[in-house]
Amino acid sequence: MTDLKPCPFCGDPMKMSMASEMVVHVTQGSCIIGSMGFVSAGAWNTRTPQWNPDMKAAPDCVDLLLYQEGWAINPVIVGRRQGSTWLSDAWDIDGEDQRPTHWMPLPTPPEGE
């Protein structure tokens, strides 16, 4: 049996569902991915960059994926840091309580044929 990495969003353990043969949370909680299942253990264990909570380490003026638990409608958006200011076309980031808490680089786009 393949050891599964924990959920990159909430850190909770994962398991293979015998009923659906998909990777799911061991206990259903309040993770942003909810009860979504994933097709294979290999796909689940293949990771892109992880969420980084060190907001000062985010590169300046580069589009990034941003996350903030308090963003109820869209907890993950594309935005950028410009000095001490966070900008996004999708969301008004005003005030300390609206600033993102985690970031990660955008994935590499698919290659054209």
Whole domain around residue 31: which residue ranges? 1-47
Residue 79, in any domain of the structure: yes
Residue 110, in any domain of the structure: no
Q: 38 is written with which tokens?
A: 């994933």
Residue 28, in any domain of the structure: yes
pLDDT confidence of residue 68: 83
Q: Which residues of the chain have pLDDT under 70?
A: 1-2, 20, 34-39, 48, 71, 91-97, 113
Residue 78, in any domain of the structure: yes
pLDDT in tens, 23-35: 888 877 777 776 6
Q: Please say whether the beta carbons of 45 and 64 come within 8 A.
A: no
Residue 64, in any domain of the structure: yes
Calpha distance 54→107 (Å, rounded): 19
How many of the other CB atoms lie within 10 Å of CB of 86?
22
Total domains present in the chain: 2
Residue 60, in any domain of the structure: yes
In sequence order, what are the beta bridge partners of 87?
80
Calpha distance 80→105 (Å, rounded): 10
Kindly state whether residues 31 and 9 are assigned to the same domain. yes
Q: 77 is written with which tokens?
A: 């958006």
pTM > 0.75: no
HSE, CB side, 13 Å, CA atoms: give it for residue 94. Answer: 1
Residue 112, in any domain of the structure: no
pLDDT confidence of residue 113: 62
Kindly state whether residues 3 and 40 are assigned to the same domain. yes
Residue 100, in any domain of the structure: yes
Kindly state whether residues 31 and 67 are assigned to the same domain. no
